[in-house]
Amino acid sequence: MSSIIHIQGLSTKFQTDTVHENLHLRVKTGEILGIVGGSGTGKSVLLSQIALLRRPNAGEVYLFEQATANLSEKALLPIRQRIGVMFQQGALFSSYTVLENICVPLREHTKLSNNLIRELAMLKLKLAGLPDHAAHKMPNELSGGMLKRAAVARALALDPELLLLDEPSAGLDPVGAHALDELMISLNTTLKLTLVLVSHDLDSLWRVTHRVAFLGRKQVLQVADMQTLSQSDDELIQNYFSNPRAHAAQARQL
Amino acid sequence: MPLDDYLYLDTENKLYLQGAWHTKTLAFIETQVRNHCHPEYLQSVTHIHADITHLDTNAAYLLVKLCRYFNLDPEGLTKEQQQTFTLVTAHLSPIPANQNNLPWLASFGKACLSPILQAKAMLAFLGEMSWALAEQIRQPSKIRLGLILSVIENAGAYAIPIISLLSFLMGAVIAYQGGLQLQTYGANIFIVELVSLTLLRELAPLITAIIVAGRSGSAFTAEIATMSINDEIRAMQSLGLSPQHILVLPKVMGLIFVLPLLTALADVAGLAGGMLVALLQLDVSFSEFLQRVPETVSVNHFLVGISKSFAFAWIIAHVGCMQGFYVQGGADSVGRQTTKSVVQSIFLVILADALFSILFTWLKI
Ligand SMILES: Nc1ncnc2c1ncn2[C@@H]1O[C@H](COP(=O)(O)OP(=O)(O)O)[C@@H](O)[C@H]1O
Ligand SMILES: [Mg+2]
């Protein structure tokens, strides 16, 4: 099976501290990969590097089997269009309605007629599981769950092959979080979308992901399914999975 | 009959779809469908046969529309394409009517009502502010000196350079333009009255107020509006802190303290500008100029200017804070609200200036 993402020897530095050092990761086409790790281990930063929004200090990121580290900004554009990103806070444009938000990428990158663009935006809104009346709401009028769905809908606008989600279920009620899990699974199975999600929600990780990459000590320590990962020998990983909440989540799955 | 790259109509009226149907190519496909989908061409289509390499949801939507148009089911889709097709079919929904788009009469009514609502909001805020002020006066120990000082620093001290420079230029310009006229009558010395009267009484208070409204009134609004959007105001209230006492009163007091001082500074800088031009253009020496000011210009003019600046300070702080609290919506509304605040406070400052003119004429000051 081919790798949609292949990260090789990636290093990330901010002024004083190093976030990633010689990090390797492969994501298979068509899978759902989770990324976990303690707070501040650089999950969001890694995601923005995959989304080509931040360049690595060293190393190479292959996307769709294409090296990206030395590409010009212009050459990155067509690759970015194949990737949808849902940011941690949703990041909807606050002066546009939900429908207009979904229209933005379509208007920017296609020459479709206005009517078709709006109809396609409406389709994405429904695919993301939003009710009809959300279309003309402003982002600040939406609940947390609806906001995340709207962000997913916008990320889906151009029918990307790869969808990156940063903590999709953070701050959601259990019903909303479960619905979002189902949405991710159905996007993966019906649209053959590859999903990479950063999450702390262990229930969601058990339910949704095929494999999970554990970030720690500036590297990816292990990539495996949840079952294997939760029995890992590594001390950091054991710590992460050996608390009561993690056990409870596991028990619910088995 | 070949239609184009993506559509093909054969002699038996079978419509063939071909090529890669995805978002990137969709614009071409849409044009082709549009160009050829009028009745005379395609009325008689009996089958839609898809032989396409890709089908994503955006393209599937167009396909669904095409099929609905002919009332046919597509043939020849692969299993995956069929899945996408079914998925899209299951999620069709017309765009609901936008209830925010009011009919013109309603918008007109709303627009007429808005100034009244604004005035009402201002009065309500004035009430809250006065109440808080009364409380503060009863308990002077609760005055937040640190916050007041920071307003004095930001709105006052840092505004000194820009206000001095602009008033200096203002004084120079008035002296220059007035001097041209006075010179023709040989009445050079009257430049003193001209410059000092206009500056002390009208222009210095006004220009200072306008600069401060632009510099600090806007900052007040932006600060409070951002806090309001982040729920910080409500957090304050829940912690038993009064936003009026912490956010509003220090600004009002600080500005009331500092704007008269800035106005006096503007007076001085403006006179300096006038004096320089008087010397260069009209041969009125500095000592002549300075002697004549107290001789001919009553101190009342200066006091009128300063007293107006107290009112202006109140207006700027009032509008600046109020607009901050009345912000609605997301991050973008902070900008809009700030603009509104500056426009409104400058408008009210000039309006108040006009009212003062009437009042002082009436009082014969
Ligand atoms: N723009 C930035 N400037 C400096 N340091 C940053 C910046 N963005 C992230 N960091 C640092 O990088 C580390 C990883 O951040 P992040 O990826 O957001 O963590 P998380 O894994 O919780 O998502 C943190 O220690 C953070 O302080
Ligand atoms: Mg993060």
Count of domains observed in chain B: 2
**Co-location of B35 and B164 in the same domain:** no
Identify whether the C-beta of residue B239 lies closer than 8 Å to the C-beta of residue B340: no
Which pLDDT tens digit goes with each residue over A107-148? 888 888 888 899 999 998 988 888 888 888 888 888 888 888
Judged by CB atoms closer than 8 Å, whether chains meet at B93 and A139 is answered as: no
Judged by CB atoms closer than 8 Å, whether chains meet at B87 and A113 is answered as: no
Identify whether the C-beta of residue B77 lies closer than 8 Å to the C-beta of residue B59: no
Across residues A3-21, what is the average pLDDT? 88
Residue B359 and residue B365: Cα distance in Å, rounded? 9
Out of A171-180, B87-96, B111-120, B307-316, pick the least confident: A171-180
The mean pLDDT value of chain B amounts to 87
Assess if residue A79 is contained within a domain: no
**Co-location of B82 and B161 in the same domain:** no
Assess if residue B118 is contained within a domain: no
> Considering CB atoms only, which of A99, A138, A190 is closest to B330?
A138
pLDDT of the residue at B7: 77
Assess if residue B1 is contained within a domain: no
Identify whether the C-beta of residue A208 lies closer than 8 Å to the C-beta of residue A34: yes
**Co-location of A244 and A177 in the same domain:** yes
- Give A 92-121 residues with CB within 8 A of chain B: 93-95, 99, 110-113, 116, 118-120
Judged by CB atoms closer than 8 Å, whether chains meet at B92 and A126 is answered as: yes
**Co-location of B193 and B316 in the same domain:** yes
pLDDT of the residue at A122: 92
Spatial strand order in the sheet of A162-166? A83-86, A162-166, A194-198, A32-37, A211-216, A219-224
**Co-location of B350 and B223 in the same domain:** yes
**Co-location of A151 and A167 in the same domain:** no
Atom of ligand 1 nearest to the CA of A198: 23
- Express as a percent the part of chain B with pLDDT over 90: 41
Judged by CB atoms closer than 8 Å, whether chains meet at A132 and B96 is answered as: yes
**Co-location of A120 and A168 in the same domain:** no
pLDDT of the residue at A1: 61
pLDDT of the residue at B258: 96
Across residues B183-188, what is the average pLDDT? 86
Identify whether the C-beta of residue A67 lies closer than 8 Å to the C-beta of residue A60: yes
**Residue whose CA is closest, atom 24 of ligand 1?**
A40
Which pLDDT tens digit goes with each residue over A181-227? 888 888 888 888 899 999 888 888 888 999 999 998 888 888 888 88
Q: Which residues contact A75 (CB under 8 A, 6 or more apart)?
A: none
Assess if residue B105 is contained within a domain: no
**Co-location of B89 and B151 in the same domain:** no
Quote the domain boundaries for residue B92: 7-99
pLDDT of the residue at B331: 76
pLDDT of the residue at B143: 83
Write down which residue in A160, A189, A212 finishes a domain: A160
Write down which residue in A101, A125, A160 finishes a domain: A160
**Co-location of B93 and B140 in the same domain:** no
Closest CA to B193 of B271, B282, B268: B271
- SS3 string, chain B, reads CECCCCEEECCCCEEEEEEEECCCCHHHHHHHHHHHCCHHHHCCCCEEEEEEEEECHHHHHHHHHHHHHHCCCEECCCHHHHHHHHHHHHCCCCCCCCCCCCCHHHHHHHHHHHHHHHHHHHHHHHHHHHHHHHHHHHCHHHCCHHHHHHHHHHHHHHHHHHHHHHHHHHHHHHHHHHHHHHHHHCCHHHHHHHHHHHHHHHHHHHHHHHHHHHHHHHHHHHHHHHHHHCCHHHHHHHCCCCHHHHHHHHHHHHHHHHHHHHHHHHHHHHHHHHHHHHHHHHCCCHHHHHHHHHHHCCHHHHHHHHHHHHHHHHHHHHHHHHHHHCCCCCCHHHHHHHHHHHHHHHHHHHHHHHHHHHHHHHHCC
B229 CA distance to ligand 1 middle (Å): 25
Residue A119 and residue A240: Cα distance in Å, rounded? 45
**What are B14's strand-pairing partners?**
B47
Across residues A160-166, what is the average pLDDT? 90
Across residues A68-85, what is the average pLDDT? 85
**Co-location of A90 and A11 in the same domain:** no
- Give A 156-215 residues with CB within 8 A of chain B: 156, 158-159, 190-192
**Co-location of B275 and B350 in the same domain:** yes
Size of chain B in residues: 365
The band of B1, judged by pLDDT with boundaries at 50, 70 and 90, is: very low
Pairing relation of β-strands B74-75 and B47-55? parallel
Q: Is the pLDDT of residue B153 over 50?
A: yes
pLDDT of the residue at B207: 94
pLDDT of the residue at A143: 83
H/E run at residue A19: strand A18-28
pLDDT of the residue at A246: 74
Assess if residue B113 is contained within a domain: no
Out of A31-40, A97-106, A167-176, pick the least confident: A167-176
Spatial strand order in the sheet of A58-63? A18-28, A3-13, A58-63, A66-67
Q: Please report residues of B whose CB lies closer than 8 A to that of A102.
A: none
pLDDT of the residue at B319: 94
Only one residue has tokens 């379509």, namely A106
pLDDT of the residue at B68: 83
pLDDT of the residue at A159: 87
Assess if residue B108 is contained within a domain: no
**Residue whose CA is closest, atom 9 of ligand 1?**
A45
**Co-location of B67 and B140 in the same domain:** no
**Residue whose CA is closest, atom 10 of ligand 1?**
A14
**Co-location of A195 and A151 in the same domain:** no
Pairing relation of β-strands B47-55 and B14-21? parallel
- Give B 6-25 residues with CB within 8 A of chain A: 22-24
**Co-location of A112 and A170 in the same domain:** no
Residue B237: exposure state from Cβ atoms within 10 A (0-12, 13-18, ≥19): exposed
Closest CA to B43 of B78, B76, B72: B72
How close are the terminal C-alpha atoms of chain B, in Å?
Answer: 93
**Co-location of B253 and B157 in the same domain:** yes
CB neighbours of residue B126 within 10 Å: 13
Assess if residue B269 is contained within a domain: yes
Which pLDDT tens digit goes with each residue over B221-265? 999 999 988 888 888 888 878 888 889 999 999 999 999 999 999
H/E run at residue A244: helix A244-253
**Co-location of B184 and B319 in the same domain:** yes
Residue of chain B with shortest Cα separation from A130: B91
Which pLDDT tens digit goes with each residue over B17-41? 888 888 888 888 888 877 766 666 6
CATH code, domain with A1 = 3.40.50.300
Ligand 1 site residues (CB inside 6 A) read A 14, 19, 39-45
Instruction: Name the maximum alpha-carbon separation found in chain A.
Output: 56
Q: Is the pLDDT of residue B323 over 90?
A: yes
CB neighbours of residue A58 within 10 Å: 13
Residue of chain A with shortest Cα separation from B82: A190
**Co-location of A251 and A169 in the same domain:** yes
pLDDT of the residue at B37: 67
Assess if residue A80 is contained within a domain: no
Assess if residue A153 is contained within a domain: yes
Count of domains observed in chain A: 2
Assess if residue B120 is contained within a domain: no
Closest CA to A82 of A104, A43, A51: A51
Quote the domain boundaries for residue A45: 1-64+162-254
Write down which residue in B99, B122, B150 finishes a domain: B99
**Co-location of B200 and B300 in the same domain:** yes
Judged by CB atoms closer than 8 Å, whether chains meet at B92 and A190 is answered as: no
Assess if residue B112 is contained within a domain: no
In Å, how far is A134's CA from the nearest CA of chain B?
A: 9
Judged by CB atoms closer than 8 Å, whether chains meet at B27 and A110 is answered as: yes
In Å, how far is A235's CA from the nearest CA of chain B?
A: 39
Q: Please report residues of B whose CB lies closer than 8 A to that of A94.
A: 329-333
The mean pLDDT value of chain A amounts to 86
**Co-location of B143 and B256 in the same domain:** yes
Write down which residue in B43, B75, B99 finishes a domain: B99
**Co-location of A152 and A219 in the same domain:** no
> Is the CB of A253 inside 8 Å of chain B's CB atoms?
no
pLDDT of the residue at B154: 93
Residue A218 and residue B155: Cα distance in Å, rounded? 47
Only one residue has tokens 């903590």, namely A167
- Express as a percent the part of chain A with pLDDT over 90: 13
